Amino acid sequence: MMTTTTENRNKNSVDRLNEFDQATFDRYFDDRFNKKMAEKEAAHIPSMTIIVTKGTMDMAYPPFILASTAAALGWKVSIFFTFYGLSLLKKELDLSISPLGNPAMPMKMPVGPEWLRHSEMNIPNVLMAGMPGFEKMATGMMKKTLTNKGVASIDELREICVETDVKMIACQMTVDLFDWSKDDFIPEISEWVGATSFLPIAQKADVNLFI
């Protein structure tokens, strides 16, 4: 009987020791894992990719503003310019805006009395489409409004992106499609590739945007 009691005590001691060792290991593993994950998170550099498909003045602002802001925060940024969006990388920019294609765009006078400058003019599409020179006038009004508000131009925003190492990627298919010449574009373009080369970059990015 005494031998059996002693064996039981030894077995219980071993069981408690095993439980203690397992608990200690679990805590050690959790601490190490949490520490490593924290170190990985601290060392991680956020990344963002933007696909730009439009070449009008109003649609040029979002990608360049988002890209320059992210780059200023230390993010890695790549922009893929395709179809009409590729025109935003030309050396000479001649961008316009079309109120006819943007029915939600408020039309405001950039000059005149304060009550007029703060009024939104609801101009019918039929009038905008039929009035000669309306698009040119709307573009001029928008440029004047942007200047009055101290908003940087597209050229300036693009230059900021270049200075902050935003990766400008041009769609080679678009160049071939429209018979454009590479000489028409800024020299800061980092790559002339297709979607096959760009998508792996987007796959690894933290943020992906389509504009």
3-state per-residue secondary structure call for the chain: CHHHHHHHHHHHHHHHHHHHHHHHHHHHHHHHHHHHHHHHHHHCCCEEEEEECCCCHHHHHHHHHHHHHHHHCCCEEEEEECHHHHHHHECCCCCCCCHHHCCCCCECCCCCCHHHHCCCECCCHHHHHHCCCHHHHHHHHHHHHHHHCCCCCHHHHHHHHHHCCCEEEEEHHHHHHCCCCHHHECCCCCEEECHHHHHHHHHHCCEEEEC
**C-beta separation of 99 from 135 below 8 A:** yes
Using CA atoms, how far apart are residues 30 and 160, in angstroms rounded to an integer? 44
What pLDDT is recorded for position 151? 86
- pLDDT tens string for the chain (211 positions)? 445 565 556 556 555 555 556 666 567 656 666 666 665 566 679 999 999 999 988 899 999 999 999 999 999 999 999 999 999 999 988 888 776 666 556 565 555 566 455 556 555 554 555 566 667 777 777 778 778 778 889 999 999 999 999 999 999 999 999 999 999 999 999 999 999 999 999 999 999 999 9
CATH number of 47-210: 3.40.1260.10
What pLDDT is recorded for position 44? 78
What pLDDT is recorded for position 97? 78
- pTM > 0.75: yes or no: no
What pLDDT is recorded for position 126? 47
List the domain boundaries for the chain: 1-44, 47-210
